[in-house]
């Protein structure tokens, strides 16, 4: 207690002392209380808008949580969720934010917030950014800005960072990392290359980029598109016979089938796996309280079965997992990418419920507390929006990864190995395809004295890592393990 008080105090001293030199944390940015939370914050929180573009018309919203350990030395991490169109409050509310949100017992009342013992703010200063404009609490005064794509998003996020670090110059010397999940598998490397080029060109302020982190990320049409069949075979979801048939007809090319016999085998595969929760094949699709009661009351099931899907998080994982990636038959191709609400007109997603974040972020008092505009200005907060039209115009990410890793930036590519949405088999294959020498051969890694997954290390500081038993949003399923590998990677320690 005393120690963390001291850390906080010195952080405060640091924050204040820099007013002498330059404008520091913006005056209106501190968040001092949050509806639903009674205690005191373990570290400083700030939030607000950074405006960019012509006439400052694009308003990008960030929520910044300083480190609970040593904010002056710990890395700064930018966090991005995917979609495209999904808010980074997904990460804040459901994955690795400072609070666990407990749903209200009564309808229409606000969730209760508890401290999250596995918050990534335990070891880093973390910026949650809603990007591009139109997503989450970010908006534009001119709706033509809602037509966007990979390239424009990366440029805007770079501009955001330059402006953000001018507002918070005391964090410029800290090691800086860019991190994200799912479609942020595109956002992260495209932005990192912009930042790296800016550093080389002497663009001020000079950011201290050290590396980047991608979880269950989209990377390449071919590798990601070919990943499903080997995944479902390895997981025991299709028979060995069907695997051999589909392999014989498609010859390993599943992403871009060129024959009707291959198509018909693929259809058979899809028919077999229908009904699974694609974001975590171990989780039931509906896992509301009623499902849990049935499982719990069945005494003949071994305890381990009755506890399937339970995590150390005090609250169950979400029922609604929509919005973080693609349905099985719509891989990421060049050109317009449908947002989730657009897709849902034709597809029914049975596991739906994310009221907690929606209720909280649309509440007037919450918006006021976090310095966000009201709904009349910024619009309603949605986990994933269809306000934007998004073009995938950056192509495969492989050239970006090759570029960044050969320039000395450290990369962690991690996969929850039970995610069927962006299966680990694709990420494992594309990282291997770079042709880098293996310097740390496939081995288990340990968290809480247990095997937590597998790791393969490559030259050029590229690491591929799996988290055993985790789904698409790793920290949501395996919060302790996620904090462990995150913190070891940031410190440059062996994972």
Active site residues: 182, 419, 472
Q: Give the nearer residue to ligand NAG in terms of CB position, either 10 or 406.
A: 406
Closest listed residue to residue 180, CA positions, set 152, 148, 157: 157
Measured from the CB atom, the residue of 81 and 431 that comes closer to ligand NAG is: 431
Nearer to ligand NAG by Cβ, of 358 and 403: the residue is 403
Orientation of helix 424-433 relative to helix 398-406, angle to 10°: 50
| Interface residue with ligand NAG, options 256, 267, 271, 433 (CB under 6 A) | 256
Spacing of C-alpha 270 from chain mean position: 26
| Contact set for ligand NAG, span 426-455 (CB under 6 A) | none
Q: Which candidate, 132, 84, 99, 90, places its Cα nearest to that of 31?
A: 99
Q: Which of 338, 381, 385 is nearest to 362 (CA)?
A: 381
| Contacting residues for 435 by C-beta, under 8 A, at least 6 apart | none
Query: In the beta sheet, which residues pair with residue 179?
Result: 79, 213
DSSP state for residue 214 in the 8-state scheme: E
Report the Cα 221 to chain-centroid distance in Å: 20
According to the binding rule CB under 6 A, does residue 253 interact with ligand NAG? yes
Binding residues for ligand NAG restricted to 125-164, rule: CB under 6 A: 142, 144
Site residues for ligand NAG, 76-115, by CB under 6 A, read 112
Between 4 and 142, whose beta carbon lies closer to ligand NAG? 142
- The pattern of x and - marking residues 7 through 36 that bind ligand NAG according to CB under 6 A reads -----------------------------x
Residue 170 or 194 with smaller CB distance to ligand NAG: 194
CB of 70 to ligand NAG, least distance (A): 19
Residue in 291, 345, 284, 366 with CA at minimum distance from that of residue 109: 366
Number of Cβ atoms within 10 Å of the Cβ of 395: 14
Out of 116, 174, 216, 461, the residue judged to bind ligand NAG by CB under 6 A: 461
Q: If binding is defined by CB under 6 A, does position 314 make contact with ligand NAG?
A: no
Smallest distance from ligand NAG to CB 208, Å? 11
Report how far residue 397's alpha carbon sits from residue 464's, in angstroms, rounded to the nearest whole number.
15
Going by their DSSP bridges, the two strands 45-52 and 30-31 should be labelled as antiparallel
132: cis peptide before it, omega within 30°? yes
- Of the candidate residues 292, 407, 432, 488, the single one contacting ligand NAG (CB under 6 A): 407
Ranges of beta strands (E only) in 147-289 are 147-149, 176-181, 209-215
How many residues touch ligand NAG under the rule CB under 6 A: the total is: 18
Q: Report the nearest approach of ligand NAG to the CB of residue 164 (Å).
A: 22
Handedness of CA 189, 136, 15, 37 (dihedral sign): negative
Contact segment (CB under 6 A) with ligand NAG among 233-241, 253-261, 280-288, 375-383 equals 253-261
Q: Quick count: other Cβ atoms within 10 Å of Cβ 8?
A: 18
The region of 116-124, 250-258, 310-318, 477-485 touching ligand NAG under the rule CB under 6 A is: 250-258
Q: Based on CB atoms, which residue is closest to ligand NAG, 432 or 436?
A: 436
Identified binder of ligand NAG from the candidate list 4, 22, 33, 406, rule CB under 6 A: 406
Q: Which residue, 96 or 410, is less far from ligand NAG as judged by CB?
A: 410
Determine, following the binding rule CB under 6 A, whether residue 460 of this chain makes contact with ligand NAG: yes
Contact pattern for ligand NAG over residues 169 through 208, marking x by CB under 6 A: ------------------------x---x-----------
Q: Contact with ligand NAG (CB under 6 A): which of 410, 418, 472, 478?
A: 410
Q: Is the dihedral of CA 193, 197, 199, 203 positive or negative?
A: negative
26 close to 48: Cβ distance less than 8 angstroms: yes
Residue 143 or 298 with smaller CB distance to ligand NAG? 143
Token pair of 95, please? 């994955």
Give the residue with the Cβ less far from ligand NAG, 55 or 300: 55
- Retrieve residue 361's tokens: 């972020």
CB of 256 to ligand NAG, least distance (A): 4
Q: Sketch the per residue contact string, 315 through 344, with ligand NAG: x for CB under 6 A, - otherwise.
A: ------------------------------
Characterize 72-88 residue by residue with b for buried, 16 or more Cβ atoms within 10 angstroms of its Cβ, and e for exposed: bebbbbbbbbbbbbbbb
- Distance from CA of residue 189 to its chain's centroid? 13
Cross-strand partners of 100: 114
Residues that bind ligand NAG (CB under 6 A): 36, 38, 112, 142, 144, 193, 197, 253, 256, 258, 403, 406-408, 410, 460-461, 492
């Amino acid at each position: 207690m005393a120690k963390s008080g001291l850390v906080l105090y010195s952080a405060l001293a640091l924050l204040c002392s820099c007013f002498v030199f330059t404008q520091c944390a913006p005056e209106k940015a501190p968040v001092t209380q949050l509806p639903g939370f009674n205690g005191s914050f373990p570290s400083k929180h700030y939030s607000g808008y950074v405006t960019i573009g012509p006439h400052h018309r694009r308003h990008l919203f960030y929520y910044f949580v300083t480190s609970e350990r040593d904010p002056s030395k710990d890395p700064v991490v930018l966090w991005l969720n995917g979609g495209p169109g999904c808010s980074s409050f997904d990460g804040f509310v459901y994955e690795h934010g400072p609070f666990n949100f407990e749903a209200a017992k009564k309808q229409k009342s606000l969730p209760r917030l508890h401290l999250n013992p596995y918050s990534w703010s335990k070891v880093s200063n973390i910026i949650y950014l809603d990007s591009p404009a139109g997503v989450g609490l970010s908006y534009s005064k001119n709706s033509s800005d809602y037509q966007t794509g990979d390239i424009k998003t990366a440029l805007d996020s770079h501009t955001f960072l330059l402006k953000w670090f001018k507002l918070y110059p005391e964090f410029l010397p800290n090691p800086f990392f860019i991190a994200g999940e799912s479609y942020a598998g595109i956002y992260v490397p495209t932005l990192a290359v912009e930042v790296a080029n800016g550093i080389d060109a002497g663009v001020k302020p000079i950011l201290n980029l050290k590396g980047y982190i991608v979880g269950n990320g989209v990377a390449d049409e071919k590798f990601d598109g070919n990943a499903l069949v080997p995944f479902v075979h390895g997981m025991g979801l299709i028979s060995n016979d069907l695997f051999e048939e589909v392999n014989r007809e498609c010859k390993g090319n599943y992403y871009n089938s060129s024959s009707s016999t291959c198509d018909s085998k693929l259809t058979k595969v899809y028919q077999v796996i229908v009904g699974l929760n694609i974001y975590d094949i171990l989780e039931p699709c509906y896992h509301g309280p009623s499902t849990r009661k049935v499982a719990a009351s069945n005494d003949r099931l071994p305890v381990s079965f009755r506890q399937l899907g339970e995590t150390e998080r005090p609250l169950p994982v979400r029922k609604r997992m929509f919005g973080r990636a693609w349905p099985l038959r719509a891989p990421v191709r060049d050109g317009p990418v449908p947002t989730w609400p657009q897709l849902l007109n034709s597809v029914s997603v049975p596991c739906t419920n994310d009221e907690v974040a929606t209720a909280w972020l649309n509440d007037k008092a919450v918006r006021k507390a976090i310095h966000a505009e009201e709904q009349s200005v910024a619009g309603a907060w949605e986990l994933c929006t269809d306000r934007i039209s998004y073009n995938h115009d950056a192509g495969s990410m492989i050239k970006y990864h090759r570029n960044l890793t050969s320039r000395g930036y450290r990369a962690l590519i991690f996969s929850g190995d039970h995610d069927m949405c962006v299966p680990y088999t694709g990420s494992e294959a594309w990282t291997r395809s770079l042709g880098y020498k293996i310097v740390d051969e496939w081995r288990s890694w340990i968290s809480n004295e247990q095997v937590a997954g597998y790791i393969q290390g490559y030259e050029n500081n590229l690491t591929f890592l799996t988290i055993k038993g985790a789904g698409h949003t790793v920290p949501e399923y395996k919060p302790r393990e996620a904090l462990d590998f995150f913190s070891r990677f940031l410190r440059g320690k062996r994972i």
